[in-house]
Chains A and B, each alone.
Chain A
Amino acid sequence: GAGVSQSPSNKVTEKGKDVELRCDPISGHTALYWYRQSLGQGLEFLIYFQGNSAPDKSGLPSDRFSAERTGGSVSTLTIQRTQQEDSAVYLCASSSTSDRGDETQYFGPGTRLLVL
């Protein structure tokens, strides 16, 4: 089946504008993750969804960032009042779930965000 898809692939916006990034996980995967990859940096965890449970938002850098996952499938990451430091590649990953945390994450191609 299809892998994880993300849209748009590239987004250029002006400082202060809001942006929405979309992630469509692999069908049947109950876990969905958002990460941020800045130039020269590793992957920064942002948020995690598991089924119908409350999301783990501990990685969101500020209250300008929010995410939702509708119907346990598609997820949208919203950044309000974008700042230049928000420029990065935003990655989405999905996985099935095990209590042991040994499930493989499948990553999307990412959305490259540039805030001017």
Chain B
Amino acid sequence: GDSVTQMEGPVTLSEEAFLTINCTYTATGYPSLFWYVQYPGEGLQLLLKATKADDKGSNKGFEATYRKETTSFHLEKGSVQVSDSAVYFCALSETGNQFYFGTGTSLTVIP
């Protein structure tokens, strides 16, 4: 069945450091891939998405490229800020019937 595996946290970085959160997936077809973010005290919200191979999703300085050959959708940001501290979830959906979420990666950025 479909599944998502993302790197375990927590991750602690200094401000302006480079961020990578790994995400790999297993799917039977050609899924759409998503990164959702949950800021402290807030609900989950979409950060970015990519719907086909080689697409790059980007938002708020974050990027992720849909890599079919490696079944990956790693999240990157060149220079993190304190305000990026949150929990990040990788997810996939093939038909829209079910979304499969990873376990989440907690990021703390310290000044």
Would you call B58 an interface residue if the criterion is a C-beta within 8 Å of the partner chain's C-beta atoms? no
Against B, the Cβ 8 Å flags (1 = close, 0 = not) of A45-62 are: 100101000001011000
CB atoms of B32 and A42 under 8 A apart? no
Nearest CB of chain B from residue A54's CB, rounded to whole Å: 12
Residues of A within 8 A of B (CB): 4, 31, 33, 35, 41-43, 45, 48, 50, 56, 58-59, 91, 93, 95, 97-110
CB atoms of B93 and A48 under 8 A apart? no
Q: Which residue of A lies closest to B50 (CB)?
A: A102
Would you call B28 an interface residue if the criterion is a C-beta within 8 Å of the partner chain's C-beta atoms? no
CB atoms of A42 and B103 under 8 A apart? yes
Would you call B83 an interface residue if the criterion is a C-beta within 8 Å of the partner chain's C-beta atoms? no
CB atoms of A42 and B46 under 8 A apart? no
Nearest CB of chain A from residue B64's CB, rounded to whole Å: 14
The segment out of B12-20, B70-78, B94-102 that lies at the interface is B94-102
Q: Which residues of A contact B32 (CB under 8 A)?
A: 100-102
CB atoms of B97 and A102 under 8 A apart? no
Q: Which residues of B contact A56 (CB under 8 A)?
A: 97-98
CB atoms of A42 and B96 under 8 A apart? no
CB atoms of A48 and B97 under 8 A apart? yes
Q: Which of A31, A91, A106, A110 contacts B96 (CB 8 A)?
A: A31
